[in-house]
Amino acid sequence: MVSGQSRHSRSSVSSLFSFWLVGFFLFGLSAWAAPEGAKTNSPTQTEEGRYRSALLFANVVELIRDAYLDPEKTDYDKMTYAALRGLLSSLDPHSQFLDPENYKLIRTETEGQFGGLGISIGLVENQLTINVPIEGGPAYRAGLLPGDRILKIEGHGTQKLTLGEAIRKLRGRPGAPVQLTIYRPSDAKMMEVSVVREMIQVPTIQDVGLISESTARGEKIGYLRITQFGERTDKEFDVAITRLEKEGATALILDLRDNPGGLVDAAVQVVSRFVPNGTLVVATEGRKATVGRVEYLSRTTARRVHWPTVVLVNGNTASAAEIVAGALQDLGKAVLLGETTFGKGSVQTVQRVDPSVTQDVGVRLTTAHYTTPSRRKIHGVGIEPDITARMTRAEEQTIFSQRSPGLKKPDDPVAEIQDEPLDRAVDLLRGWKVVARRSDPTR
């Protein structure tokens, strides 16, 4: 008799929960379930599908609450959040469910500096991977390199973490150490590394100067490297170009290797230095009419670059850096040299879930993708260089850890490092200048 009452009670709860959840699906999420412009079946079929899905979810939740061994894990919110994390992460590596803590973190983050390790991370083959350590940052000084995989954070495995959860665990109070278990595929090497968190001021431009005379062989070839695109990149770029002009530069190598991206607006500003005002730089194309095609045009700028330009790219060139590379290539303002870029060209927007339905939670959702001026898609494809120059992973790591041999003095041992893409860029620009001089009618 007691058993029968218990089952009747659970059945009542299940019915109430099912009724609430079905209503939630049918009314609370109707705009999401049938987005504008999407192909859908008849209204009746759509409502039946929503009802079946909601009822299935509700029945599974109640089955878990009724039979699972540990009742502490069967809280409605915990199970719902876990289900939504799985749902969003199944879409792509960049979409994410934001529980109240993560949603608050997203809203209160300060731009430009944070307590962290100074690394850009991503998911490569579903493994947490370092894209690029910020030069001079704590991770860089600890010897971490692009391609290193983070297997554990403070002894806990990272395999089931979303990208957002991993970032939250890596960030923290400046001065506090974090223990990482690292696997380096290029050496098949495991290592334990302790990195102390710092307030990270993100640099943008490094290694500005003329290529060494021994490498350039008489030509005045300027070089600058953008490490990532931030709020001050355009101003720093102008300062760098002014310096190169004063040093007599007549050609430019723009190094975007290992650049993880950053602000799209900063990318547009840099391209604006090469093209006339109002030129299409990049566009976003979405699925819904409300997130349709949006075009980003170049801006008016006092500083212009008219030099022959080569842009260096590799497999770690991503996001905003790909926007710059793709635009300069499409618009005929630069030759791309190196390897096909990473292919991160999607747009994520953070949207708050209706607060009348639940507490402060949100979703980070991929809603559009970037296209170059010729409408080439970047995401999942990358930008293919005009001239291919490959390097081994070990060579890339050596170049990354001891940057810019072309700018070093001849007696500096770092100058002995072979940087084939840089050497080929110099050869290309030297040939370009020779041809220009020979075809000059004033000679």
Nearest CA among 201, 259, 269 for reference residue 225 = 259
Known catalytic residue at 344: yes
Nearest CA among 386, 277, 275 for reference residue 331 = 275
Known catalytic residue at 319: yes
Q: Which residue has the tokens 């001021």?
A: 201
DSSP 100-120: HHHHHHHHHPPSS--EE-SEE
> What tokens appear for 394 in the block?
């070990």
Contact 327, 271 (CB under 8 A): yes
Length of the chain: 443
Which residue out of 298, 319, 346, 404 is catalytically annotated? 319
> What tokens appear for 103 in the block?
């949603």
Contact 191, 182 (CB under 8 A): yes
Angle, alpha carbons 394-399-402 (nearest 5°):
120
Which residue out of 330, 333, 404, 419 is catalytically annotated? 330
Q: Hey, which bits of 26-140 come out as E strands?
A: 96-98, 115-116, 119-124, 127-133
Which residue out of 333, 344, 408, 433 is catalytically annotated? 344
Longest dimension (CA), the chain: 108
Known catalytic residue at 330: yes
> What tokens appear for 426 in the block?
């110099």
Catalytic residue numbers, as ranges: 319, 330, 344
